[in-house]
Amino acid sequence: MFQSFEVTARPEQGPPRLADLRLAMVKDALDGFLVPRADAHQGEYVAPHDDRLAWLTGFTGSAGFCAALQEVAGVFIDGRYRTQVKAQVAAEFTPVPWPEVGLGEWLKENLPKGGVVGFDPWLHTTAQMQKLEAELAGSGITLRRNTNLVDQIWTDQPAPPSAPAKVHPLEFAGERHEDKRARLSADLRKAGHKAAVITLPDSICWLLNLRGADIPRNPVAQGFAILHDTGAVDLFMQDAKLGDVRDHLGAGVTTFEPGQFLSRLGKLAGPVRCEALSLPVIVGDTLGDKIVWGDDPCALPKARKNDAEIKGSEQAHLRDGAALCELLAWLDAQPAGTVRETEVVRALETERRKDNALRDISFETIAGTGPNGAIMHYRVTEDTDTVLQDGHLLVLDSGGQYLDGTTDITRTVAIGTPPEEACAAFTRVLQGLIAMSRLRWPARLAGRDIEAIGRMPLWLAGQDFDHGLGHGVGAYLSVHEGPQRLSKLSTVPLEAGMVLSIEPGYYREGAFGIRLENLAVVQVASAMAGGDDHRKMFDWRCLSFAPIDRRLIVTAMLDDAARDWLNDYHAQVAQKIGSRLSASAKLWLDTATAPI
């Protein structure tokens, strides 16, 4: 099985660590200290060196933060982690439903007037702290830049990541980095900007056609970059990482050690474009009035996959689908009560490793059976490892990082005879997947404009789920990629070439969970026979191919259009995947994809 790189802490380890943090706060004359799940690059994922939130609290979710005060320590988590956090933190930590309860509001309730809250200016963005300062206005509470107190007390903190960077071949990238830099710098000149600061590792790796291994499950090399309006790039990355890529970077990219980043920023002539959502406070402090706020110049170009990236993703998904089908066929042959969650994880990762193009899994595999399936981002451990019992549903969410593409697919599988109420909920989730997959929509609509389509069948039954309907996915990059999302919060218009997940779900705490997920690419819709072509329309082309468990479908709940879609999808799965399978898995697939 692939090595796990997550920092983990048992609940009982949290209280003494919190006590040490509070002693450090006293020494620095602080009444509170903020501990985010973030690093200086402000991406979604962190290396073990930067996983301070997990080390302090035990909470391992991919989003959240702790506000540690002398009398109370709030762990702020969104709807995805309300169940998970209960099992991971000790009673000394108080889960806080966020964003329903804002940090500013909570601090005003729990800190006296005149309280001082410290924060590491590398680990918080300008947008975050500006919002918090506005919320605290008039409260008498002060925010103070401070050295990182967790680093002071974390005696066995892992070393910062230092994996070597690698060249991402042109056959998969589809565009030379020289051409990318020229294209983006032209946009800077058009806007009158002299330079742009880039902190997100996946943006830097996309721009320069690099990949790395600094973040578990995400093939990125950490660093900072300045893109100048001339097309030149200043790259701030450890020299030891760059030995094999210097010739590839060429004369247009000048390299510096990361410690020189702030001093080089201070020498820039403005205006300098920065993204408030990803800019560390300390960078904003350094640039001052030279800043002009705008988007990361790489974000949208990276999201709009070119032909080579889409072709690579298609091929990666076919091989990945075959690996998943081999696993599902094996699992279906095991009697209920004989297999544990960890065995499923190991067996699936073994199937994926048979592909020489695989470099890693794309995230920690989720294999949650029974009540564990109701934990949306469940990670099996020795303590939680559970046997798949008759009547359980297994939520299996997994993916791979291949040289030609990144995959992410979820299937919910019946173990033995599933409960009727679970089948009804599963069918509604399937209806949501089908409705979104069939959708055609006018150009210029964003995720927030259409994501309700995938929720409507659940809403009609008084049900819902607390994660987004879908996220963007990179091209052998981060499995979660912005700026596009299928979310009520997303205002980014969907464009051709964007790859997103479609993943409705339903979770009943203590009982079962359900999620179905395919990846799909946005494309310009073909004209409809007899249709009105007065406006540009988009639709989806599915990338993920694996059967949907027919045993969980209440067929009578599907209308003719939904049934036709499912039968057509299963016919495609059989046609695209069947020839890639072992003889036994092929027989299983023929049954699993039979028409309903």
**131-162 pLDDT per residue, tens:** 999 999 999 999 999 999 999 999 999 999 99
pLDDT at residue 81 greater than cutoff 90:
no
Tokens representing 575? 């046609």
Handedness of CA 498, 501, 502, 508 (dihedral sign): negative
Q: What is the mean pLDDT of residues 300-304?
A: 98
Q: What is the mean pLDDT of the chain?
A: 95
- What's the pLDDT tens digit per position in 470-500? 999 999 999 999 999 999 999 999 999 999 9
CA distance 88 to 302: 36
pLDDT at residue 271 greater than cutoff 50:
yes
Residue 62's pLDDT is 82
Pairing of strands 32-36, 116-119: parallel
Residue 533's pLDDT is 66
Please name each of the domains of the chain with its CATH number. 11-153 (3.40.350.10), 166-302 (3.40.350.10), 304-587 (3.90.230.10)
Amino acid making up residue 223: G
CA distance 371 to 362: 24
Q: 116, 29 in Cβ contact below 8 A?
A: yes
- What's the pLDDT tens digit per position in 90-103? 999 999 999 899 99
User: Can you name the residues that pair with 514 across neighbouring β-strands?
Assistant: 506
pLDDT at residue 530 greater than cutoff 80:
no
Q: Kindly report the number of other CB atoms within 10 A of residue 420's CB atom.
A: 9
CA distance 517 to 469: 9
Pairing of strands 470-472, 481-486: antiparallel
Residue 529's pLDDT is 74
**Preceding peptide of 121 cis, ω within 30°:** no
Work out the burial of residue 164: count CB atoms within 10 Å of its CB; fewer than 13 is exposed, 13-18 middle, 19 or more buried.
Answer: middle
CA distance 553 to 567: 13
**Of 560, 458, 445, nearest to 505 (Cα)?**
458
Reported as a pLDDT band with limits 50, 70 and 90, residue 289 is very high
- What's the pLDDT tens digit per position in 309-347? 999 999 999 999 999 999 999 999 999 999 999 999 999
Residue 1's pLDDT is 43
What are the helix (H) ranges across 339-397?
341-353
Residue 531's pLDDT is 66
210 contacts: CB under 8 Å, gap ≥ 6 = 165, 166, 167, 168, 204, 221, 245, 248
Q: What is the CA radius of gyration of the chain?
A: 24
Handedness of CA 527, 530, 536, 540 (dihedral sign): negative
Would you list the DSSP string of 218-233?
Answer: B-----EEEEETTS-E
Residue 402, classed as helix, strand or coil, is strand
Amino acid making up residue 182: A
CA distance 258 to 225: 10
pLDDT at residue 296 greater than cutoff 90:
yes
Q: Which percentage of the chain shows pLDDT scores above 70?
A: 98
Q: 68, 87 in Cβ contact below 8 A?
A: no
Residue 235's pLDDT is 98
Phi, psi of 120 (to 5 degrees): -85, 115
Residue 532's pLDDT is 65
CA 395 to chain centre: 18
489 contacts: CB under 8 Å, gap ≥ 6 = 448, 468
Reported as a pLDDT band with limits 50, 70 and 90, residue 61 is confident
pLDDT at residue 356 greater than cutoff 90:
yes
Residue 321, classed as helix, strand or coil, is helix
**Preceding peptide of 16 cis, ω within 30°:** no
Work out the burial of residue 99: count CB atoms within 10 Å of its CB; fewer than 13 is exposed, 13-18 middle, 19 or more buried.
Answer: exposed
Residue 375's pLDDT is 92
Q: 302, 206 in Cβ contact below 8 A?
A: yes
Residue 136's pLDDT is 96
Q: 142, 111 in Cβ contact below 8 A?
A: no
Amino acid making up residue 312: G
Reported as a pLDDT band with limits 50, 70 and 90, residue 2 is very low
CA distance 226 to 240: 20
Residue 181's pLDDT is 98
- What's the pLDDT tens digit per position in 542-589? 999 999 999 999 999 999 999 999 999 999 999 999 999 999 999 999
Q: At what angle do helices 420-437 and 560-577 cross, to 10 degrees?
A: 80
pLDDT at residue 185 greater than cutoff 60:
yes
pLDDT at residue 78 greater than cutoff 90:
no
pLDDT at residue 511 greater than cutoff 80:
yes
- What's the pLDDT tens digit per position in 24-45? 999 999 999 999 999 999 888 8
Tokens representing 7? 């920092």
CA distances from 457 to 75, 411, 463, 496, 518 (A): 33, 18, 9, 27, 18
User: Can you name the residues that pair with 502 across neighbouring β-strands?
Assistant: 518
